[in-house]
Structure 1
Amino acid sequence: MTFVSLGSIIGSGWLLGALGAAKSAGPASIISWLLAAVLLLILALIHADLGAAYPVAGGTARYPYYAFGAFAGFTAGWSGYLQAVMIAPIEVEGAITYLESAPWASGLDMVNKDQTLTATGIGIAVVALVAFTFINLMGAKWLSDSNIAVVIWKTVVPVMTIVVIIALTFHPGNFSQGGGGFAPNGFHGIFAALPLGVVFALQGFEQAAQMAGEAKNPKKHVARSIILAMFIGAVIYIFLEVAFIGAIDPNNIAKGWDNPLGAGSFGPYYDLAVAAGAGWLASVLLIDAVVSPAGTGLVYLGTSARISYALGEDAALPSALTKVNKRGVPWVSILVAFVVGLIALLPFPSWQELVGLITDATAIMYAFGPVSLAALYRRHAGREHPYRVPMSRLLTPLGFVAANLIIYWSGFEAIWKLVVAIVGGGLVFLIAAVARRGHRQAKDLGLRAIAWVWPWLIGLLVIGFLGRYGKGALNVLPEWIDIAIVVVFSIVMFYVAVSLAMKPEQIEAAVEADEFELEAIDAEGAAARG
């Protein structure tokens, strides 16, 4: 279980995350990693509680469904789908961006100076997405993140990078003397660094919570695996940032952190390894820049297809998404994931811009966890919770605040795009529900219970518009006042949401229906094996 979460936490984000964080916060980017680790750990413990109490597949969509009805479950599931479906294009773009630093790639001209893809880069990205799609249609499952060998590779390479770079080249003065001192952009830079790859790199803890039903002792193992994976991931990322900042040429940051590696540099650790004379490490990093993103992108394209398949099965999306080929592969859902992946590359955003969108979608999905747990504690009190969040009355609202702060720091541009996508998905959901009135979930939309969701999303959009982060923001809210507004707004919406949860008998019916379906699936599997 620890390896499942760790394999999701340590991905391609480490290849580029340190550079974006350093540009925003300088040496204080180390605080950004610490802050992200604390915020995500709170959310992780909440999901560990939910995963142990309700061990079902696709839990991030099922928990809100139990507490607030089908519409809430769809909204959380749709956010999860948007997050998953954008992983493949961002992994491809991350690999292409990193490989641009290789000597043999200089003539290909794959990346522009602003880190967006050129026509050549987009063409390569499309070819890669086509390859991912073809492999998934054939039913192959390569390079799964849960594979121990892959996780070991993804862990050993960054650890080896830390040791080698610190041993060969390290300038302690970079942390205080160059380009404005330790925090050249103050707390604004620290917060702004979070959506530039920091939160993206540390997300993925929910994988262990999803496996809670298979744990021998969920009360201990779920929480311990999540905490251990988060601790290992956070320590590695913090030391990667330390190694990166310490290895930079002091002359590059004498005037600021806007371009700490110099013009035309896109592969942070590759360039540092070359400068330190560790050519062999540079070669390993180029291999990792292909293997790790390719494996993750391949798996997530299939994962997003399975999510849309499940939403189609639940009458949340058109039933055409449930069509499978002779190999049992949901081919329509895979093709839809491919098309959405292509759209994600438009209008040719950079790796960091895509990261902001994914961070926002993930935070929205995570935000449903705290309100769902608090509502289920109150309205489904008879349910056994093998693992309980410590100080739940404090940590559940704090978890909702943490998710909303991450959304706010992602910037107005990312917020409005996600809100538009969620509204569009909601309209499709309502149309599908009307067309399939006889389905269990179509009968129980939970429109009253979800009455808090739209004020919540619109409120975040307005605060983001008036706030200080992202393109298009008016920057009229003073520093720290904006944070206070987000915190107060989040606490109010948290208690409003919990008060609107479904009635105990509705929750019990939804949980029992799911458990009945799971028992039927298990019986079919046993019959097929027997």
Structure 2
Amino acid sequence: MRRSVGFYGLMFVSLGSIIGSGWLLGALKAAKVAGPASLVSWVLTAIIMATLALIHAELGAAYPVAGGTARYPALAYGVLGGFVGGWVAWLQAVALAPVEVEASLEYLDNITWVKEHLNLLSPSGTLTASGFGWATLLMAIFTLINLVGVKLLSESNSATVIWKTAVPVLTVVVLLSLRFHPGNFTAGGGFAPHGAHGIFAALPVGVVFALQGFEQAVQVGGEARDPQKDLSRAIIVAMVIGTIVYLLLEVAFIGALDPAALLKGWDNPIAQGSFGPYATLATLAGAGWLSYVLYADAFVSPAGTGMLYLGTSARLSYAMGRERTLPKGLGKLNVRGVPVWSIGLSFVVGEIAFLPFPSWQSLVSVITSATALMYAFAPVSMIALRKRDPDRPRPYRAPMPKVLAPAGFVAANLIIYWGGFDITWKIMIAVVIGFGLFLIARATSPKLERLPIDWKAAQWIAPWLAGHVLIGYLGRYGESGNISVLPEWIDLLVVIAFSLAVFYWAVNVAVDSGKVKAAVEREALELAVQ
């Protein structure tokens, strides 16, 4: 791959993934679940994501390879551990491109001319045949940009990110200056009308979804010009900017609401539907011109993020092709250093995803839980690789690793639990399906090309996943299936204790130093930085 992306390109890749459709809906969805205490949800999520971002920053700088979230567990846990980590990462990434496309079209459908002439959505909010056609066109454009190469992807994204960041900042300034009601922060049942449960429940309905994406710089690490210097800085700066923007947006949103709409609580804090809440508030504040800017951004922000995720999902399948856990053709590059077959696969799967998930809302919680599973592999991989590959240059070292890494693993596991049992068991079925594909790929590849499976190193994965299904079934989160026998707060202690036990188990059974060294040597060409 060609190393042509600098610091700003990497930072914009992460920031462009963080600021997508989530900013337009995250504040509303969080407020409906947690009320004004949704501010605590954002702070809690920011702490969790910052912890995980620091871990990814160390791994990305030390092992600058494409599709990093699939490659780090492969180095530490062998081919099977790498596949499971890569598979859940690919699932969330390949689903995000179509879901962002759907968000773009759903926002556009608020415009009268679009609704009357393009017929994008049915009355139920799902894609029509015409909507599917326009969605396919957007996916095709994203695919073409990615096929040209990462430099064009980075440059195209950089231009849109400046716009995507400026519009929410402008929205905050306008709403805070023209329409701010301090009393809203204690209205409708007080600051925390649904208590701690509401604060935690807000995370999987849009808050984590909004702030995820910092790891996208890691996914293009194999194309970074100076990864040892730039990757860690890019991830951290993008995370800081994104956190500040989202916190200010929640403050501005709550303060701008009509106090009369909160008299009966936070179930319906704004009158006009789920889409375009900021445009409605801007109109009520007498800044109708801002609503037009917001409708334009409602297309640009999700579309820009969708373009990025199509590219990063391709790099994940490329990584698994390189590891021979998926067909090896996915790990091939063309003369421009572009994974053509992997990009094509992302386009095809994205098109298929439009069929069972024809609306934005139907995928958000699933993506959030899959993302948390992906993030959970990074802390155990970081500590395992520190112990077994200690001489590897680490231009950035995460602070207090003995505290940070287990805390990051626990945080990722809590997000999975808060997502609810009805989401957790579906994700686990997807993992089982992936394992079936893994076995098929091995059975159909030449024996000499198969890397041996280190069953001992991967022994913790199945009990970890099964344990989440059981705890989710017994726990208090989810819309159906769970029996809620674990008392409040005790359930969180159970998740924390379970997570810590799995963390130290996983670190102790990782492959030995010799196997890590051999795996690093197999990637020597890609790890070489000129």
CA spacing shift, 1:344–1:188, aligned 2, 3 Å? farther
Does the CA contact (< 8 Å) of 2:17 and 2:308 recur in 1?
A: no
Give the letter aligned to residue 410 of structure 1: G
Query: 1:92-491 to 2 correspondence within 5 Å?
Result: 92-104=101-113, 117-120=125-128, 123-133=130-140, 136=143, 139-140=147-148, 144=154, 147-177=157-187, 179-209=188-218, 214=224, 218=228, 222-262=231-271, 264-319=273-328, 321=330, 333-348=342-357, 350-440=359-449, 442-472=450-480, 473-491=482-500
Does the CA contact (< 8 Å) of 1:4 and 1:145 recur in 2?
A: no
Does the CA contact (< 8 Å) of 1:8 and 1:145 recur in 2?
A: no
Partner Cα separation in structure 1 for residue 131 and residue 484 of structure 2: 38
What SS is found at the alignment partner of 1:443? Answer: coil
Question: Which digits, 9 at most, give the CA deviation of each residue in 1:426-451, with x for residues without a partner?
Answer: 111122123224355x2222222111
| Partner residue of 1:75 out of 70, 76, 84 | 84
CA spacing shift, 1:491–1:99, aligned 2, 3 Å? same
Match of 2:3 in 1: none
| Residue 55 (1) aligns with residue 67 (2) | no
Partner Cα separation in structure 1 for residue 518 and residue 354 of structure 2: 42
- RMSD between aligned residues: 2.7
Partner Cα separation in structure 2 for residue 250 and residue 188 of structure 1: 24
CA spacing shift, 1:379–1:319, aligned 2, 3 Å? closer
Partner Cα separation in structure 2 for residue 255 and residue 312 of structure 1: 54
**Unaligned segments of structure 2, at least 5 residues:** 1-6
| Identity score, percent | 57
Partner Cα separation in structure 2 for residue 5 and residue 118 of structure 1: 29
Post-superposition offset of 1:314: 2.8
Post-superposition offset of 1:478: 1.3
Partner Cα separation in structure 2 for residue 383 and residue 315 of structure 1: 25
Stretch of structure 1 that moved more, 149-158 or 329-338: 329-338
Partner Cα separation in structure 2 for residue 331 and residue 147 of structure 1: 20
Does the CA contact (< 8 Å) of 1:117 and 1:348 recur in 2?
A: no
What SS is found at the alignment partner of 2:455? Answer: coil
- Provide TM-score, normalisation by structure 2: 0.89
Give the letter aligned to residue 417 of structure 1: K
What SS is found at the alignment partner of 1:199? Answer: helix
Post-superposition offset of 1:386: 2.3
CA spacing shift, 1:134–1:319, aligned 2, 3 Å? farther
| Residue 494 (1) aligns with residue 509 (2) | no
Post-superposition offset of 1:489: 0.3
Does the CA contact (< 8 Å) of 1:212 and 1:218 recur in 2?
A: no
Partner Cα separation in structure 1 for residue 407 and residue 339 of structure 2: 39
Give the letter aligned to residue 136 of structure 1: T
Post-superposition offset of 1:291: 1.6
CA spacing shift, 1:53–1:344, aligned 2, 3 Å? same
What SS is found at the alignment partner of 1:240? Answer: helix
CA spacing shift, 1:481–1:105, aligned 2, 3 Å? farther
Question: Which digits, 9 at most, give the CA deviation of each residue in 1:307-357, with x for residues without a partner?
Answer: 324423432112454688999876654454344324434544652331111
Does the CA contact (< 8 Å) of 1:97 and 1:267 recur in 2?
A: no
Give the letter aligned to residue 247 of structure 2: I
CA spacing shift, 1:55–1:348, aligned 2, 3 Å? closer
Stretch of structure 1 that moved more, 342-351 or 89-98: 342-351
What SS is found at the alignment partner of 1:449? Answer: coil
Partner Cα separation in structure 2 for residue 311 and residue 147 of structure 1: 25
Post-superposition offset of 1:217: 8.6
Partner Cα separation in structure 2 for residue 409 and residue 273 of structure 1: 33
Stretch of structure 1 that moved more, 291-300 or 186-195: 291-300
Match of 1:87 in 2: 96
Does the CA contact (< 8 Å) of 2:332 and 2:339 recur in 1?
A: yes
Post-superposition offset of 1:304: 2.1
Does the CA contact (< 8 Å) of 1:89 and 1:129 recur in 2?
A: no
Partner Cα separation in structure 2 for residue 110 and residue 317 of structure 1: 35
Partner Cα separation in structure 2 for residue 346 and residue 304 of structure 1: 19
Stretch of structure 1 that moved more, 161-170 or 256-265: 256-265
CA spacing shift, 1:439–1:206, aligned 2, 3 Å? farther
**Unaligned segments of structure 1, at least 5 residues:** 524-530
Partner Cα separation in structure 2 for residue 57 and residue 374 of structure 1: 21
Post-superposition offset of 1:303: 3.2
Does the CA contact (< 8 Å) of 2:62 and 2:393 recur in 1?
A: yes
Give the letter aligned to residue 460 of structure 2: W
Post-superposition offset of 1:17: 0.8
Give the letter aligned to residue 134 of structure 2: V
| Residue 41 (1) aligns with residue 50 (2) | yes
CA spacing shift, 1:217–1:267, aligned 2, 3 Å? closer
CA spacing shift, 1:498–1:306, aligned 2, 3 Å? closer
CA spacing shift, 1:215–1:414, aligned 2, 3 Å? same
Partner Cα separation in structure 2 for residue 408 and residue 223 of structure 1: 29
Tell me how many residue pairs correspond in the alignment: 515
What SS is found at the alignment partner of 1:77? Answer: helix
Post-superposition offset of 1:280: 1.2
Partner Cα separation in structure 2 for residue 218 and residue 306 of structure 1: 19
